[in-house]
Amino acid sequence: MTCNCTQYQPIELDRISIKRRIKESPAIRKSLVVLSENTELRLSLFQCPSCEQFWQSGHEWNFGDEEYLFQVPPISIEEWLEESYKQPAAMMIYSAMMSDYYEKLGDDQGDSSCRVDGCSDRVVRFCVFCKQHQVESLQGQGKLPQFPIGRIFPPYDGS
């Protein structure tokens, strides 16, 4: 039995590519076997019985919480249950939101050092923290999104 796995390229981190994959996913899913599920995160790990390609599901609120599938490297079920792969839509949304924030924040620095013990970086203008610690502070307050959870994988790791 032949499969169509090779016709699906990695998802580009843009809305059009993710929406396209959402539409393609029901057909992709039909030919796959479920290897494991993480009910807490609502994720599934699949494998193609023909070519043995691994796939993971994803859901993202910004895309109507609809399921989409993407190819991932081979992994043991135990490792996947410990840490699934990052979802491309989550990476795209995080990147877009943080890009907007960094643009607004600008590159102007103040004259003093960051208030975090051991950090000698200069503060962001009109702030008490450097850029990194300012972001971490706002993430801790829920005012900026958290970095997407999961393990990074090619091609999203820069390789």
pLDDT of residue 34: 97
> With contact defined as beta carbons under 8 Å apart, do 43 and 56 qualify?
yes
Q: Which residue has the tokens 């610690």?
A: 133
Number of domains in the chain: 1
Each residue's pLDDT tens digit, 10-57: 999 999 999 999 999 999 999 999 999 999 999 999 999 999 999 999
- Write the DSSP assignment of 116-133 as a string of letters: STT--SEEETTSSS-HHH
Domain that holds residue 29: 5-89
**Within-domain flag for 69:** yes
**Within-domain flag for 13:** yes
pLDDT of residue 103: 84
Each residue's pLDDT tens digit, 85-106: 999 999 998 888 888 888 887 7
**Within-domain flag for 142:** no
pLDDT of residue 108: 76
**Within-domain flag for 85:** yes
**Within-domain flag for 103:** no
pTM beyond 0.75: the answer is yes
**Within-domain flag for 34:** yes
**Within-domain flag for 130:** no
Q: Of 60, 115, 109, 50, whose CA–CA distance to 86 is shortest?
A: 60
Kindly state the tokens that stand for 26.
């029901």
Q: Please state whether beta strands 54-58 and 109-113 pair in parallel, antiparallel, or not at all (unpaired).
A: unpaired
Angle made by CA atoms 123, 127, 132, in degrees to the nearest 5: 55
Q: Which residues pair with 122 in a beta bridge?
A: 113
**Within-domain flag for 58:** yes
pLDDT band at 159, cuts 50/70/90? low
> With contact defined as beta carbons under 8 Å apart, do 114 and 93 qualify?
no
